[in-house]
Amino acid sequence: MINVGPSDYLSDMGNWIDLVYIWGSIAMSIVHLELTAYHVISKALMCLVVTLSIRRTFNFLRIFKALSPIVTMLTNVIWQLRIFLTFYFILTLLFSLMYGVLGIGNFKLEGKFREKFYNTEQMGDMPGLEYKKIGLFFGNLFQTVRISMGDFSIIAAAEYLDDSENIIFWVIFLLTCIITCIIFLNFIVAEAGNSYNEVSEELSNFIWQQQADLCAEAEGLFPSFLKKEKHYPKYIIIRKVEI
């Protein structure tokens, strides 16, 4: 930031992530001292710091020749799949709304589900009990994602729907399986394989670009007086290049 200035430094999204990681680590240490490590704020900050540390760890693994191809491929393949993942999220969101309309696992609706599980001793056997804390909206969303991955545990809740609602449920369930699980998820896998092949063809260029970025970043960390040839003649200063 000192060498290039705040405006240029903050123009890179990766630097924002690094700042969040640094200040999150400092805040986590303070919260640990004030509220102990078992407080919910401490746990949330620790999860955030660990998540950001995954990105930083993978970023520095590019230094090693054996690991650089894997990290480079993962980064580029995930970036190329962003459009397909966005479309996949829209599909799961819309299908989850259909399950919400049917009222699966909804205590507010009169019916068999409310009669059996609402304020009764059998609540421990209730389908979808794991979503009780996050609400029906997110519960249906996560359940739809599980259906797209082949987990059909939502079928147990269909038993407590009326006959007409049960028919609608099976129609929606069949559409969810065909579109998200059989077609779209396999489409994403195929596209990931295609992106992998495209990246592998230009892998050497990607690796050189990553190494050039790391060299440019390392150069920026050196004090200016060490970059002068008369003080540091054995080092060659490498400028950032675009491939």
Tell me the per-residue pLDDT of 108-158, one tens digit each, with 9 for 90 and over: 788 788 777 777 666 667 877 888 888 889 989 999 998 888 888 888 888
Tell how far CA 230 is from the center of its chain. Answer: 48
Q: Comparing 2-11, 113-122, 191-200, 231-240, which segment has the lowest mean pLDDT? A: 231-240
User: pTM of the predicted model, to two decimals?
Assistant: 0.68
Tell me the two tokens of residue 208.
């050189």
Which DSSP letter does residue 123 get? Answer: G
What are the tens digits of pLDDT across the range 30-84? Answer: 998 988 888 899 999 999 999 988 888 887 777 777 777 777 777 777 777 788 8
pLDDT at 30: 92
Q: How many CB atoms lie within 10 A of CB 153?
A: 12
Query: What's the pLDDT tens digit per position in 171-201?
Result: 999 999 888 888 877 887 787 777 777 767 7
Tokens of 151: 């987990």
- Distance, in Å, from the CA atom of 148 to the CA atom of 146, rounded to the nearest integer, reads 5
Contact predicate 74/199, CB 8 Å: no
The pLDDT of residue 226 is: 61
Q: Between residues 162 and 212, which one has the greater pLDDT?
A: 162
| pLDDT value, residue 222 | 66
Q: Which of 104-108, 111-115, 158-162 has the highest mean pLDDT?
A: 158-162
Q: What dihedral do alpha carbons 185, 191, 194, 195 form, nearest 10°?
A: -120
Residue that has been written with the tokens 């962003």 in this structure: 82
